[in-house]
Amino acid sequence: MQSRARSIQVLCEEPFRLFFPTGLMLGIVGVSLWPLYYAGLVTAYPGTPHARLMIEGFMASFIIGFLGTAGPRITSTSHFSRRELFTLLSLDLLSAGLHVGGAHRAGDILFSFCLAVFLFAIGKRFARREDSPPPNFALVALGLLNGFVGALLLALFEDKLYSAQYRIGAALLEQGFALLPILGVAPFLLAHLLGTPRPDLPESRKLPAGWMPRAVFAASVGLIVDGTFVAEVFDVTAIASWLRLGAVLVYLIARMPWRGRSFLGDCLRVGIAAVLIGIGVAAIWPQYGIGALHIIFISGFGLIVLTVATRVIFGHSGNADLLRKRLPFFIIAAILIFVAMLSRYVADLAPKARTIHLVAAAVFWLIASLIWMMKVVPKVTIPDPES
């Protein structure tokens, strides 16, 4: 009984141990829908459930797991309670289950409620903080708000798929919800991956001098990105894409640490570069916008998520020494992710071979995920020896 209580306490202190494996499994389900559909084992076209599972399941679980672990530590506040942890997990899984069953409105409503609970939990800790989070985390808060508003708009206007409200909701959820938190966390995390986590602002409960201007800069970039999503809905696509690329590029140049090298640090940089390339491809060839989004999703968000998760899991399981060397399994997984992205992009360029490329992209992604899962996920059960 005491051992069980201690295990639950560890999960509350480090929610990634629960949410990272959950996110990976939901991602595997979401990607598997394509080969299952073309094999005749799934009758409903998987476009919508695939998109929802990858964003509200895969990405959301990793975001909640990371922020739920790092947030209380950064702010020097209490870890998540048992009630908060299992409420979030239940809502996340129920939402995913509803999407698999085709009840997308109910799934989106539950997911928006899940993010509302998470925003309240994080906001409460920010209010009670002993230390202030990095100013770039203003983008994290805005990204979570993107997810909440986006999912709510999709639920409210599900029966009006081509309405402006539905399309804005889709952009906020499927792009802003993942992109903005990644931009907010990337400078902080890259410094840790490079072994140079030097705080450029003093630790203080009171927001230190210089914090607010940097937070306003980050939030302004996020609002510009959100504005481009709205502009695209009203057919200002070319200008919006270039403006989004410029805003993201300016932010990265201003805030990312560029000196230093490490294996996972370089992997994170490759993922960020893929995001920029995807936004650029969308600006140059807007007629292939769906393919460009998959450059961002697969080789951008996907690689970044696995990089961050590897750092977190290895660092919290007594395997930090592995972070100082190249990881052959990760290189293989990254190559397979890149091939999956290429295959998915080509699917839109070669309509006659579309089915083959969609299935191939899914298979390559699944193999990469299984390799990563076998090498990394078992370590989530290993307690941090420094705890």
**Residue-level pLDDT at 202:** 62
Residue 323 inside a domain? The answer is no
CB of 276 closer than 8 Å to CB of 241: no
Cα–Cα distance list, 28 to 59, 73, 74, 144, 370 (Å): 12, 30, 31, 23, 9
The 3-class secondary structure across 305-337, one letter per residue, is HHHHHHHHHHHCCCCHHHHHCCCHHHHHHHHHH
Helix axes 263-284, 237-255, angle to 10 degrees: 160
Residues 148 and 90 in one domain: no
**Residue-level pLDDT at 199:** 57
Residue type, 306: L
**Residue-level pLDDT at 114:** 97
Q: How many CB atoms lie within 10 A of CB 219?
A: 18
Residues 177 and 234 in one domain: yes
Residue 344 inside a domain? The answer is no
Residue 285 inside a domain? The answer is no
Q: Among the three residues 85, 118, 133, which one is the final residue of a domain in this structure?
A: 133
Q: What is the pTM of this model?
A: 0.94
Q: Among 387, 386, 379, 383, which Cα is nearest to 21's?
A: 379
**Residue-level pLDDT at 324:** 82
Long-range Cβ contacts of 323-327 (<8 Å, 24+ apart): 323/193, 323/262, 323/263, 323/264, 324/262, 325/263, 326/263, 327/263, 327/264, 327/375
Residues 120 and 143 in one domain: no
Residues 101 and 225 in one domain: no
Q: Among the three residues 133, 153, 174, which one is the final residue of a domain in this structure?
A: 133
- Return the structure tokens found at 79: 């870890």
Residues of the domain holding 141? 135-196+212-260
Residues 125 and 139 in one domain: no
Residue 322 inside a domain? The answer is no
Residue 348 inside a domain? The answer is no
Residue 162 in 3-state DSSP?
coil
**Residue-level pLDDT at 289:** 86
User: What is the pLDDT tens value at each position of the chain, 387 positions in all?
Assistant: 557 767 788 888 899 999 999 999 999 999 999 999 999 998 889 999 999 999 999 999 999 999 999 999 988 899 999 999 999 999 999 999 999 999 999 999 999 999 999 999 999 998 898 888 899 999 999 999 999 999 999 999 998 878 999 999 999 999 999 999 999 999 888 887 877 765 566 666 687 888 899 999 999 999 999 999 999 998 887 789 999 999 999 999 999 887 788 899 999 999 999 999 999 999 998 888 889 999 999 999 999 999 999 999 998 888 888 888 899 999 999 999 999 999 999 999 888 899 999 999 999 999 999 999 999 999 998 887 765
Residue 286 inside a domain? The answer is no
Number of domains in the chain: 2
Q: How many CB atoms lie within 10 A of CB 116?
A: 15
Residue 46 inside a domain? The answer is yes
Q: How far apart are CA 49 and CA 62, in angstroms?
A: 18
Q: Among the three residues 116, 133, 150, which one is the final residue of a domain in this structure?
A: 133
Residues 40 and 126 in one domain: yes
Residues 37 and 149 in one domain: no
**Residue-level pLDDT at 360:** 96
Residue type, 362: A
Residues 35 and 140 in one domain: no
- Return the structure tokens found at 92: 């996340």
Range list of H helices, the chain: 2-13, 16-38, 47-52, 60-75, 82-100, 104-127, 138-156, 164-171, 177-193, 211-233, 237-255, 263-284, 289-294, 303-315, 328-349, 354-376
Residues 84 and 171 in one domain: no
